[in-house]
Amino acid sequence: MTDAQLLALLDNGLRQLQLQLPEGSNERLLSYVTALQKWNSAYNLTAIRDPKDMVVKHLLDSLAVSPLVRSGSLLDVGTGAGLPGLVLAMVRPDLQVDLLDSNSKKTRFLVQMTAQFGLKNVRVHHARVEQAQLPPQSQIISRAFASLSDFAHWCGHLLAGDGVLLAMKGLYPQDEIAALPAPFVVRESHALTVPFLDEARHLLVIGKQAA
């Protein structure tokens, strides 16, 4: 697809999601896709190679959760190439986003993207999540990072008392929900529709139950 066709695809998807992004966001998001393609050959950032699929499965998939993410701070664990955290940070200046990954090649890419796009609301951390030393977080998000049980176990020490885990999942993970350790409970479940993607998507909001 040409750049113009990719831009039209993104525009169409954003209309379907009913998202209005700050001026210049669309072009910046496509520049990110271009950089992803460029770095991918050497750094193996994502298994998706086709730019059209990157727009749908990376950009629109990440942006679909934006209305459900509160303003303030957001920690993205196992962020990989910056999904969804970097994408959200690019279009949500009201968010302070921390990107965490244990893969040094991926965090190197994230540092470069943060500088290239002048993102003052992004910090990049190279560490394993269970060893990360960060202040208590109000929101921690993950995209296909781990089972819900592992997500809660590994990130529990980083979560503020009233904070929430935001788990991006495909099919509704009934078995994973049943295996959640106390005191974690699912507070909300949202079925998402990602434009041009014929696959199930859910966002689960998980918090600690009061003793």
Which helix (H) or strand (E) covers residue 105, if one does? helix 104-116
Q: Is 98 exposed, middle or buried (0-12, 13-18, 19+ CB in 10 A)?
A: buried
Task: Give the Cα separation of 108 and 120 in Å (integer).
Answer: 17
Four-residue CA torsion sign, 82, 17, 20, 71 = negative
**Paired sense of beta strands 122-126 and 95-101, if any:** parallel
82 annotated to a ligand binding site: no
83: annotated binding-site residue?
Answer: yes
Q: Is 199 annotated as a binding residue?
A: no
| Rounded Cα gap, residues 127 and 62, in angstroms | 22
| Known binding-site residue numbers | 78, 83, 129-130, 143
| Known binding-site residue numbers for S-adenosyl-L-methionine | 78, 83, 129-130, 143
